[in-house]
Structure 1
Amino acid sequence: MTDQPRHVPRFVPRSRTVTFGAFHEYHRKLWMRYAHVQVGSREAAERVVHKAFAQLRSTWDYALCQESVHSYAWTLLKEQVDTWLYERGLEPQLAEAAGFERAIRRLLIDELLDGFVVLAEEIGLYSAISELPERQQDVIVLRYVLACTDEKTADFLGIETSTVRSNIRHARAALASKLNIPLNGKR
């Protein structure tokens, strides 16, 4: 868990001011979709997202002083999801998400040589995704499971669009390697 800040600076640079309400309104829908995919139910997702926003609200001035409010807030959300799952002895429910099969197809099918049967590899692919570095996992879930654009993914994570694309390239290469599947030359 992210520690509560011990000291909240009094000065918040004007260029970083954004209201908590505006942030909440902009992020809530995607946060709900992310939490739902991870915890498996809308009710649980509501509780998780509520706790994440409550924690963010209580540290809002501190968040505004971070290099990226979006990245800081995303970390709080993921920590709440992880805590909820851990307390119940559960794993993320991503593989059971309604859009997982479609996401897998979008993620790999256009990039792999003909003849690869995605359905036969879904469990191995989910396992391989779970072994990716954290940022690559985030990008893959946002981009392919939640169907965000590269730009929206970058915005929600507080990173550059080029970083999203780089993470996708690296994730695809890692997944293809782990699953022993040669990548097609297409981009």
Structure 2
Amino acid sequence: MHVDPEPPVVRVSHDAQGVDDRGLPVSPDGTDQRLALTFDAFDARHHTLWLRYAHTQVGSRAAAETVVDATCARLLGHWPHVLTQESVARYAWALLKEEVAWWLDDHDREPALVDTAAFHAAVRKLLDHENHENHKKQEKHDQFDVLQREIRLYGAISRLPERQYDVVVLRYVLQIPDEEVAEYMGIEVATVRSHVRHARRRLARHLDVRETETEE
């Protein structure tokens, strides 16, 4: 997903002349200081989630920090424009995803999601949900069969449509409430739940299992 290209997106250097330690230009009337405070409040609310999401994609804390720092620099570079957006959280989310994609492309890497412990736990939760009525039968499967099935699910999740993929990561891997998922993605809570249902059905088809409507 690409964001509004106006004004031009630039990467801001915090060492640039005439900017404060947040990357915002310094003005004598204090306007930019007030803008910086609004960014600080926004960043304080969302920064940890941004880091956690980036970590699932790029595979290390250091790389995640690089991605999030670049995202913050872009936001700071035209923060007044960002504040005019219908959903600032959604705009920032789109920038974060662009930075993740650029980092992966620069390093010739695929998303590291399937290598994280959190993802493996989320996959098992999904599997449990899909098959709670057949739990006893599942227990009779040998571990090799279970592993094969999880590997198939990893591939299926990676092929989900973008919105469904984001919902699965936010809701199951990062365990974000539906209301916060809706805020980050700029959609209604009902739409989040719809994406969850469609993702489950798509994954169930890939796994050739019966999908249920029971919530976890």
> Shared fold (TM-score greater than 0.5)?
yes
The letter for the 2-side match of 1:54 is A
Is contact 1:27-1:156 (8 Å) kept? no
In the superposition, the TM-score normalised over structure 2's length comes to 0.75
Q: CA deviation at 1:3?
A: 5.9
Q: Identity across aligned pairs (percent)?
A: 50
Q: Does 1:54 align with 2:73?
A: yes
Q: Which of 108-117 and 167-176 deviates more?
A: 108-117
Is contact 1:38-1:94 (8 Å) kept? yes
Q: CA deviation at 1:2?
A: 4.1
* Structure 1 unaligned blocks of 5 or more: 8-17
Is contact 2:82-2:91 (8 Å) kept? yes
**Counterpart Cα distance in 2 of 1:96 and 1:104:** 12
Of 69, 73, 91, 1:72 maps to 91
CA deviations on 1:20-67 (whole Å, 9 max, x unpaired) are 111111010000001111111111111000001111111222222222
Of 89, 112, 116, 1:93 maps to 112
CA deviations on 1:4-29 (whole Å, 9 max, x unpaired) are 4138xxxxxxxxxx921111110100
Is contact 2:54-2:68 (8 Å) kept? yes
**Counterpart Cα distance in 1 of 2:155 and 2:166:** 15
Answer with 1 or 2: which has the greater Rg.
2
What is aligned with 1:154?
A: 182
Q: CA deviation at 1:111?
A: 2.6
Structure 1 vs Structure 2 CA RMSD: 1.9
Q: 1:185 to 1:152 in 2, by over 3 A?
A: closer
Is contact 2:130-2:210 (8 Å) kept? no
Is contact 1:70-1:155 (8 Å) kept? yes
Q: Does 1:179 align with 2:207?
A: yes
The letter for the 2-side match of 1:181 is V
* Structure 2 unaligned blocks of 5 or more: 9-36
Is contact 1:39-1:92 (8 Å) kept? yes
What is aligned with 1:10?
A: none
In the superposition, the TM-score normalised over structure 1's length comes to 0.86
Q: Which structure has the higher relative contact order (CA within 8 Å, separation 6+)?
A: 1
**Counterpart Cα distance in 1 of 2:187 and 2:66:** 27
Is contact 1:108-1:172 (8 Å) kept? no
Q: Does 1:28 align with 2:47?
A: yes
